[in-house]
A = this chain, B = another copy of it.
Amino acid sequence: MSNTIPTQGRSRVIIEGVSPEIDGGYFPIKRVVGETVEVEADIFTDGHDAITCLLLYRKEGTTTWNEAPMEFLVNDRWRGHFVVAEQGTYVYTIEAWVDRYQSWERDMEKRVKANQNVSVDLLIGAELLEAGSVRAKTDHARKLRDAATILRRGESLSDRIAVALDRNIRDLMLRYSDRRFATRYARELKALVERKRAGFSSWYELFPRSYGPGRKSHGTFKDCEAHLPYVASMGFDVIYFPPIHPIGQTMRKGRNNSLFAEPTDTGSPWAIGSAEGGHKSIHPKLGTLQDFRSFVAKAKEYGIDIALDIAFQCSPDHPYVTEHPEWFRKRPDGTIQYAENPPKKYQDIYPFDFETEKWQELWEELKSVFLFWIKQGVEIFRVDNPHTKSFAFWEWAIQEIRQQHPNVIFLSEAFTRPKVMYRLAKLGFTQSYTYFAWRNDKAGLIEYLTELTQGPAKEFFRPNFWPNTPDILNEYLQHGGRPAFMIRLVLAATMTANYGIYGPAYELCVNVPREPGSEEYLDSEKYEIKNWNLDSLHSIKSFITQVNKIRRENPALQSNRNLQFHRIDNDKIICYSKHTDDYSNIILVVATLDYTYTQSGWVEIPVEDFGIDANQPYQVYDLLNETGYFWNGAWNYIELRPHEIPVHIFRLQAIR
């Protein structure tokens, strides 16, 4: 007897092609509390026997598997699902086995139909039922034994056959199925379940120093407290601050990124660190740590999370530079290696050397920066350029932090190559910036959104769409004026469940670049204090308020995997929908991408898919205008005038 024979030689079922499964199960898929995990697999056995397939799942740390039935689709594909009710990590896998009773019952039906002699077959069934009764609980065991008895010696053949084909007996046997030779899928896969805001959030970026009382006076956290009602009234639930630390003096950048700063210039918040402290300190002009904590608490009262910017780089004046010179790379002339992208040099920034001998110390210190701010009440971090730091560090740090602080959300600010962005998402970042700012035409939007919401990335990459940032004022916004700002806002806010704007530049439709061809703002807030006229008549804040309200009130807009594009015979108009799993909430968005001319076209709505009778009128409620219409059938006419209202957000509803 060869000793290489596998011990599980009688397990005849094959389970393969399991989805979702990221990189062979190395990384978890992502969900938020209350969402569904739908699992598919190719499952089959040799021969013609029936199989039973179960989806197994449990919370990590518990030992008992929950079981959900899987149903057969087509082509040996099976599907099951479970709901992730709690935050944390879930584990899932699949178990399947050749089910002799189900096979027997299925065949019995065929034999009876063919009028065959089934006397021996009934005895086989009786044996299976008796074996099942041994596995069953007392009262069920009795039922199965009774059924077996009838199969053996029921009064009439028709009695015996009736029991053989009894659905209740079949269900009972399914429950006590013989699973000795079950196949368990080789891997246990994971789903990371985060809080709801990880999957649905509305961000507003602001520079706290710009909210001082007087012209160009440096704002404080106290000033920002006064500004909270303004942001809250628009319906945002995350306020994101650029770095709030002391700013270096050496090589400080002046206004408009000039190489020479005036003595009055405030510098860029990303040039972190001075004699006054580094990543765990607060710029003295913003206030004290106590002020910051109080601001965070105040924001919480408005339901607003504060997101801090974590930019792991140092100004030459950062205390790390003298305290831990070994964390930086030294040049042969004794100076520290500044950031470069040859031939460009960024002498005001020192990057950390992730290949330093002291890398473990460096990792611990960087992790402690997050922990420090978590202690101050911060639960969201926007991580600056994570793709220029080691992937291994992020993977470790995020896991460590999340384990202790499961509420923490990490937004990856990596505008780089797709595979790098996806890797950061896989290794743990909650949300990610995207290429949205550079997708302004219909084909580009459809292709990109299809990749994000229907491709493999949908399981781990949560896009956060930003129509602008302090670094990105794209050409479309520069040229399109107010309609462009409205269009891009609605696209960002309805195509994906997470979005954000850099304000007040956005609501005030600020659109002047530093120079033609540049995506930088003229007189950028990155380098100076701005005094915004928030009451400007040009502000689209009430439009934004309405859009955020629509997002909150319509659960269809709170997830991404449900996005569908619809046909419209005009390349300047884009049309898409989102719906809840049960179709109780269906949102249809029709937007012109032309900020100049009126556009119109016929849009095709898959009403039947939406559970709406194509031959009956149905209600179409315009959520921006707050007016209702009736439509009829699949094809409907749309006309959009950019200077009036460039976008419709409709709620569709059958009339019942």
Chain A residues at the B interface, C-beta cutoff of 8 Å: 1-2, 4-6, 8-12, 14, 16-17, 23-24, 26, 42, 44, 46-48, 75-76, 98, 107, 110-111, 113-114, 116, 120, 123-124, 126-127, 181, 186, 331-333, 335, 340-343, 351, 354-355, 359-361, 363-364, 387-393, 396, 400, 417-420, 423
B5–A16 CB distance below 8 A:
no
**Complex A-B: 17 CB contacts under 8 Å:** A5-B360, A5-B363, A9-B363, A9-B390, A9-B393, A10-B390, A12-B354, A14-B423, A16-B423, A47-B388, A47-B389, A75-B417, A75-B418, A107-B340, A123-B332, A124-B332, A181-B355
Query: Which chain B residues lie closer than 8 Å to A393 at the CB level?
Result: 9
- Copies of this chain, tallied across the complex: 2
A10–B354 CB distance below 8 A:
yes
A478 to chain B minimum Cβ distance, whole angstroms, is 29
Query: Which chain B residues lie closer than 8 Å to A126 at the CB level?
Result: 332
Query: Which chain B residues lie closer than 8 Å to A2 at the CB level?
Result: 364, 400
Query: Which chain B residues lie closer than 8 Å to A24 at the CB level?
Result: 24
B417–A6 CB distance below 8 A:
no
Cross-chain contact of A46 among B4, B181, B387 (Cβ < 8 A)? B387
Cross-chain contact of A14 among B114, B331, B333, B391 (Cβ < 8 A)? B391
Cross-chain contact of A333 among B1, B120, B400 (Cβ < 8 A)? B120
Q: A14-B423, A419-B75 are in contact. Are A354 and B46 (CB under 8 A)?
A: yes
B392–A332 CB distance below 8 A:
no
B391–A12 CB distance below 8 A:
yes
Cross-chain contact of A359 among B9, B186, B331, B343 (Cβ < 8 A)? B9
A127 to B337, CA, bound (A): 15
Query: Which chain B residues lie closer than 8 Å to A363 at the CB level?
Result: 5, 9
Q: Which residue of B lies closest to A332 (CB)?
A: B123
In the complex, which of the residues A8, A12, A116, A355 has the most CB atoms of chain B within 10 Å of its own CB atom? A355
Q: Which residue of B lies closest to A12 (CB)?
A: B390
Cross-chain contact of A419 among B42, B98, B116, B340 (Cβ < 8 A)? B42
Q: Which residue of B lies closest to A418 (CB)?
A: B75
A417–B76 CB distance below 8 A:
yes
A399 to chain B minimum Cβ distance, whole angstroms, is 8
A394 to chain B minimum Cβ distance, whole angstroms, is 9
B11–A392 CB distance below 8 A:
yes
A354 to B47, CA, bound (A): 11
Query: Which chain B residues lie closer than 8 Å to A114 at the CB level?
Result: 342-343
A44 to B391, CA, bound (A): 10
A388–B123 CB distance below 8 A:
no
A55 to B120, CA, bound (A): 62
Query: Which chain B residues lie closer than 8 Å to A361 at the CB level?
Result: 1
A361 to B44, CA, bound (A): 25
A5 to B98, CA, bound (A): 44
A230 to B364, CA, bound (A): 79
A15 to chain B minimum Cβ distance, whole angstroms, is 11
Query: Which chain B residues lie closer than 8 Å to A355 at the CB level?
Result: 10, 12, 98, 181
